[in-house]
Amino acid sequence: MATNNQTKAMIEKESLKGRDFLTLLDYSSEEIAYLLQQAYDMKQDTLAGTMPPVLAGKTLGMIFEKHSTRTRISFEVGMIHLGGHGIFMNARDLQIGRGESVYDTGHVLSEFLDGVMIRAKSHKMVEELAEHTSVPVINGLTDIFHPCQAMADLLTIKEVKGDLKGLKLSYIGDGNNVAHSLVIAGAHMGMHVAVATPEGYEYNAGLLEKAKKIAEKNGGSVISTYDPVEAASESDAIYTDVWTSMGQEEEAAKRLIDFKDFQINDQLVGHAHKDYVFLHCLPAHREEEVATSVIDGPNSYVFQQAGNRLHAQKAILASLL
């Protein structure tokens, strides 16, 4: 990996302090590389027991409209590791759940907190909250983006493979929020990203064009296909997500049929490089989107990936707060 001084030099004219973290489209490739290096360094400090309390006295408010395991625990533990404190707030328990405006909520939270992380149903609502909040707002997941997950994904691939530039990253499954952020992240790092979805579940066309332009600037590429074999061919990393996300339960039966040829199984990963990395943001449905032999196999790094949510988010928290 690049040294910390090298990555700091990349963004010496820019400051991350006080900024929001809503989508990776708002960040430069150099800034993302810097955050990845910070995440790597913080992981080493944490493992060595030498993590400095850089956020001592700081408080992060964590708003949840959706259930969470990894997001809640990683942010809460991350604030503890950094010397600060995280407050869990179920949206149903806040006045915003009873009709208080986002405008009022944002201004009130700014009086109490040093930052806000929100896991929400609507990206537009999160954008509105950020507009009316004077402290940094971090997107813990919305219907369109999941940028914190993508940072942990890149950190995991980098730990296993080394330099990200030039690697082929294949996302196979639903063109959802996880896919949106992952492809943009890979484009920033000069990766060759292939997205395979069934017809009717495509990656957002506007975001695809933006990702292509970012990739071209960094020597990478982005393609979209309906053929999972094409996407998996010669791949260095294969990624999938559940076929039915939260809020789509009524579509589950139809999705099982539409996605039946997109399972990540031994036959499909046979088209990838032998040392490919398998990733999944979790929770996973074994024998639906991924075969048990793959997710529990020697090429799977899903638990290291989950653990890296902690370190990627600590880098974001420390840089913004």
Look at residue 317 in the predicted model and tell me its pLDDT.
98
Known binding-site positions for L-ornithine: 177, 241, 245-246
CA dihedral 266, 173, 284, 212 (to 10 degrees): 110
* Whether the predicted pLDDT of 182 surpasses 50: yes
Question: Is 98 exposed, middle or buried, given 0-12, 13-18 or 19+ CB atoms closer than 10 A?
Answer: exposed
Q: Under CATH, to which class is 150-306 assigned?
A: alpha beta
Q: What is the pLDDT of residues 257-286, one digit of tens each?
A: 999 999 999 999 999 999 999 999 999 999
Q: Work out the average pLDDT over 50-74.
A: 96
149, 263, 305, 313: the active-site residue:
149
180 is catalytic: no
Q: Please tell me the distance from the alpha carbon of residue 313 to that of residue 138, in angstroms, as a whole number.
A: 10
Active-site choice (146, 180, 188, 311): 146
**What does the pLDDT look like over 71-99, one tens digit per residue?**
999 999 999 999 999 999 998 888 887 78
Place of tokens 């915003």: 96
286 vs 46: CA distance, rounded Å: 32
Q: Is 285 a catalytic residue?
A: no
pLDDT reading at 148 higher than 90: yes
pLDDT for 11 equals 55
Which one of 19, 81, 119, 311 is the catalytic residue? 119
From CA 77, how far away is CA 63, in angstroms rounded? 15
Which entry of 20, 37, 281, 305 is annotated as an active-site residue? 281
As a whole-number percent, the residues of the chain with pLDDT over 70 amount to: 96
The CATH H-level (homologous superfamily) assignment of domain 1-145+310-320 is Aspartate/ornithine carbamoyltransferase (3.40.50.1370)
Q: Return the pLDDT at 149.
A: 98
Question: Position 60: which residue type?
Answer: L
Using pLDDT thresholds of 50, 70 and 90, give the confidence band for residue 8: low
Instruction: Choose the catalytic residue: 38, 192, 241, 305.
Output: 241
Burial group, residue 168, by CB count within 10 angstroms (0-12, 13-18, 19+)? buried
Among positive and negative, which fits the CA dihedral 249, 208, 169, 142?
negative
How sure is the predictor about 5, in pLDDT bands with cuts at 50, 70 and 90? low
* Active-site annotation holds for 263: no
In the chain, pLDDT over 90 holds for what percent of residues?
89
**For residue 319, is pLDDT > 80?**
yes
Query: Is 19 a catalytic site residue?
Result: no
Higher confidence at residue 95 or residue 160? Answer: 160
Residue type, 307: G
pLDDT interval class at 14 (50, 70, 90): low
Of the listed 81, 309, 311, 313, which one is catalytic?
Answer: 309
- The β-bridge partners of 224 are 195
Q: What are the start and end residues of each CATH 3.40.50.1370 domain in the chain?
A: 1-145+310-320, 150-306
Instruction: Output helix, strand, coil percentages for the chain, rounded to the nearest 5.
Output: 50, 15, 35
List, as residue ranges, the binding site.
Answer: 68-71, 95, 119, 146-149, 177, 241, 245-246, 281-282, 309
pLDDT tens string 188-207: 999 999 999 999 999 999 99
Amino acid at 223: I
Calculate the alpha carbon distances from 132 to 62, 103, 122 in Å: 16, 6, 16
Specify the pLDDT at position 13. 42
Known binding residues for carbamoyl phosphate: 68-71, 95, 119, 146-149, 281-282, 309
299 by DSSP, 3-state: which?
coil
What's the whole-model pTM score? Answer: 0.94
Query: Rg of the chain's alpha carbons, rounded to an integer?
Result: 19
**Amino acid (one-letter) located at 90:** N
